[in-house]
Amino acid sequence: MNDFTIHLGPQSHVEYFADHGEDDWSVTLADTGATTMTGGRVKRIARHLDGAFIVTYGDGLANVDITDLVAFHRAHGRLATVTTVRPLSRFGVMDLGSEGVVKRFREKPQTDGYVNAGFFVFEPRVLDYLNDDSVLEAEPLERLADAEQLVAYRHDGFWQPMDTYRESVMLNELWDSGVAPWKVW
């Protein structure tokens, strides 16, 4: 929420350049390795955790209500919560009748299925499902689901991944225009 400089070495300290309104925040930057997969990254920060914790991939933007997400997680009592969304189709869809007759066009409709939106709340015991080589969205989440310890928090608001150059341009245009739906502050 403000600019800072981290001074490393024998006289290490952090220098802040502006006040901010947040209280009781701490940020730890941890080097988990350049080639470590998503589950391994979470596993490698275990020593910095104290209680339930929030994880995000960092390559998507959303207006998820974090307070509501955490309250939902606490209410269900399971080990893990994954935020899920129903994204829009990347393409327009044609509904076809018999003999291939086009009945109607639907421009980029919302998909029927839910996808992992990349915002999680985990209890410390989730670390038992991880190892240094694990891919979070593969075996660890599958094992949590098999154990009925993974619950989906449905988000109906804005969500957009930024996996491609096209998506990056689109999201930056939204930001520059002043109508970024993920800006909730």
Mean predicted confidence (pLDDT) in 111-122:
92
In a domain, 114, yes or no: yes
Task: Answer whether 84's CB lies under 8 Å from 65's CB.
Answer: no
Question: For the domain that residue 147 is a member of, what is the CATH number?
Answer: 3.90.550.10
Q: Answer yes or no: is 14 within a domain.
A: no
Contact 25, 12 (CB under 8 A): no
Residue 150 near residue 77 (C-beta atoms within 8 A): no
In tens, the pLDDT along 8-43 reads 889 898 887 776 666 666 678 889 999 999 999 999
Residue with the larger pLDDT of the pair 122 and 57:
122
Inside any domain, residue 121:
yes
Is 136 a domain residue? yes
Sign of CA dihedral 6, 7, 12, 13: negative
28 part of a folded domain: no
Burial of 83 from C-beta contacts in 10 A (0-12 / 13-18 / 19+)? buried
23 within some domain = no
* Residue 46: domain span: 37-177
Number of domains the chain contains: 1
In a domain, 8, yes or no: no
Query: How many angstroms separate the CA atoms of 34 and 44, rounded?
Result: 12
Mind listing the pLDDT tens digit for each residue in 62-108?
A: 999 999 999 999 999 999 999 999 988 888 889 999 889 999 998 88
Is 120 domain-assigned?
yes
